[in-house]
Copies of this chain bind each other. A is one copy, B any other.
């Protein structure tokens, strides 16, 4: 992880590779030296990147847009912030980025729409953040699924995905909650079992793991839970921006 602190990484992750290449603002000599760093990326040029999940991924995205990199269709959450950073850092990479998160979804609801909302898009990089509704709706008495249901449904979804897209790079995001708003003690320890199940599935399928819960656990030492997610589930602008940074680091950007 120390690569996250070297100069090359900062240049890549701040978009100043681009800035250097194009002499952003005033193109001073110092920044011009950044230019050779341009294009360093862990996601291959020409990649199609798909963000899948629930309301945290959805983030108010416009429906019915077919094209990639569409501003309104990316929503205004971590998927949009991650996409915007990838697109400004690598303007020559030809990335095609999609968001197909749908508010309220649980794993089985991803499966119900997987052909059109994932397999047909044929992503090279597939990022999934799912799980909070799998427990929340159970706690609300609206869903009879358990952590075993979550894990088995998740395993089945990724098995099907790998069967059709054997070369897809999987990025599994850790489900997370902050102890405020809608998140009460009754969520625990069950929620920890959902997180563990997501990690187990990620390891089974050799996916990149994005440790959002440990990130937010440390974030609440700096600012109160509501600063990062008012209701404990849906990230604030600051929470979404921190998620985008963590996602980019996890995939090696």
Contact = CB atoms under 8 A, between A and B. Distances in A.
Interface string A9-28: 01101111011011111111
Contact of A71 (B71, B83, B223, B237): B237
Given A1-B25, A218-B24, A227-B91, A237 B14 contact: no
Interface in A71-108: 71-72, 74-76, 80-81, 83-85, 87-88, 91-92
Interface stretch (A110-118, A157-165, A178-186, A243-251): A243-251
A211 interface: yes
Contact of A246 (B24, B71, B211): B24
A241 B60 contact: no
A71 to B, nearest CB: 5
Most buried by B among A38, A60, A218: A218
B11 A84 contact: no
A238 B2 contact: no
A201 interface: no
Contact of A14 (B21, B60, B88, B245): B245
A190 B60 CA distance: 38
A236 B19 contact: no
28 contacts: A1-B31, A4-B16, A5-B31, A7-B10, A10-B10, A13-B14, A15-B241, A18-B242, A21-B222, A22-B219, A22-B221, A22-B222, A24-B219, A25-B214, A25-B215, A25-B246, A26-B214, A69-B236, A69-B238, A72-B76, A74-B237, A80-B237, A83-B237, A84-B237, A84-B238, A84-B241, A88-B241, A91-B223
